[in-house]
Amino acid sequence: MTWSATARGAHQPDNTAFTQQRLPAWQPLLSASIALPLFFCAGLAFIGLGLGLFYSSNGIKELEYDYTGNPGTGNCSACALADQDRAPPLRCSCAWYFSLPELFPGPVYLYYELTNFYQNNRRYSVSRDDTQLSGLPSALRHPANECAPYQRRASGLPIAPCGAIANSLFNDSFSLWHQRQPGGPYVEVPLDRTGIAWWTDCHVKFRNPPLVNGSLALAFHGTAPPPNWPRPVYELSPDPNNTGFINQDFVVWMRTAALPTFRKLYARIRQGNYSTGLPRGSYLVNITYNYPVRAFGGHKLIVFSNISWMGGKNPFLGIAYLVVGSLCILMGFVMLVVYIRYQDQNDEDEEEE
């Protein structure tokens, strides 16, 4: 008896208000006078926020063009003829002409959009080596197994960057030109290609390997580019601060999308005479057509868009708030009717007693 009592006491929690659950507690009893105002207030708040988001989204201007090049859809058709089963001819170019009757307010963002491209496929999304992308020299020579079959070339050279995501890098390019006066010359609009990727991606997740004798090319010596790349990763840009693994276009592409239709930022228009937006006039977009999409039934689009305080155009968020707010108010009225009905019935029962 003594041993069992001692053992039982050793395993008992301390005799405190917290361990013995004697702390004071408050358990609300929700009555109709409390619950109904909460539902109505929440519904009005959601509807107000939804209206703000919806009208803000509708105020965003967008201009888009499908340059996939399906037969009879534009002058990119010639570039798309060889796209069904293989990549289009190298340096195939086409153009998109459009006019703006009034100012397209800034800041203006240029996106490319792809459809029917499943970057969220499980095997595709893990086909990368984050250790290699962080610039570790040992990982540069020994890519992770997740990169297979884009881990090594047939010659045995390691691929840098390895994996299916890097191998499918979007490589179309665009330039924008503005004709200020009818019949006048076209002037190139400066596209700001810097700062289009997340800061944490460029400065934390993606790093180049240490330079060898001051050369990035020597740092990548003994590696091979992905099969679909026409040049190695250290030649992605002539800017030494925007080449290799820290190239902005590459970093943007490596952040995979959650849905099969997605947009990725290509450039911002905010320099010179275009800091306030795109003035009225005629415009020309020169397109270097490289990226094949017709083989998997995809489409390619160019999108010009501005933003608001809530970001880009997204009517779904405002509609979602409106629906939830309306449901709250509807449920409030339903509970109010039920409360009045049963309250009257209770009053009649008390009078009969």
* Sheet (strand 62-66) strand order: 62-66, 300-305, 108-114, 262-269
Provide the pLDDT for residue 113: 96
Average pLDDT, the chain: 87
Averaged over 3-14, what is the pLDDT?
64
10-14, 57-61, 285-289, 291-295: which is most confident: 285-289
Give the pLDDT of residue 118: 95
What's residue 123's pLDDT? 94
Write down the pLDDT at residue 311.
Answer: 78
Worst-scoring range by mean pLDDT, 5-19, 50-64, 88-102, 106-120?
Answer: 5-19
Helices (H), the chain: 2-10, 32-58, 77-80, 122-125, 130-133, 137-141, 164-167, 199-200, 216-219, 248-254, 315-352
Tell how far CA 333 is from the center of its chain.
39
Neighbours of 159 (CB within 10 A): 24
**Rg of the chain, C-alpha, whole Å:** 30
> End-to-end distance of the chain based on CA atoms, in angstroms?
60
Range picked from 32-36, 179-183, 284-288 for highest mean pLDDT: 284-288
SS3 234: helix
Band the pLDDT of 11: cuts 50, 70, 90. confident
User: Among candidates 309, 336, 325, which has minimal Cα distance to 59?
Assistant: 309
The whole-angstrom separation of Cα 253 and Cα 62 is 22
pLDDT in tens, 174-203: 999 999 888 889 999 999 998 899 999 988
Tens of pLDDT, residue by residue over 328-351, are 999 999 988 888 887 766 655 555
Whether the pLDDT of residue 68 is over 80: the answer is yes
The pTM of this model reads: 0.80
At 88 the pLDDT is 46
CB atoms within 10 A of CB 158: 19
Backbone torsions φ then ψ of 53, nearest 5 degrees: -65, -40
Mean pLDDT of 274-297: 90
Amino acid identity of 329?
A: I
Query: Tens of pLDDT along 230-258?
Result: 999 999 999 999 999 999 999 999 999 99
Mean pLDDT of 67-83: 71
Cα 68–Cα 70–Cα 76 angle in degrees, nearest 5: 60
Q: What is the pLDDT of residue 188?
A: 93
Rounded to an integer, the average pLDDT of 208-232 is 93
Q: How far is CA 224 from the centre of its chain?
A: 29
84 has pLDDT over 70: no
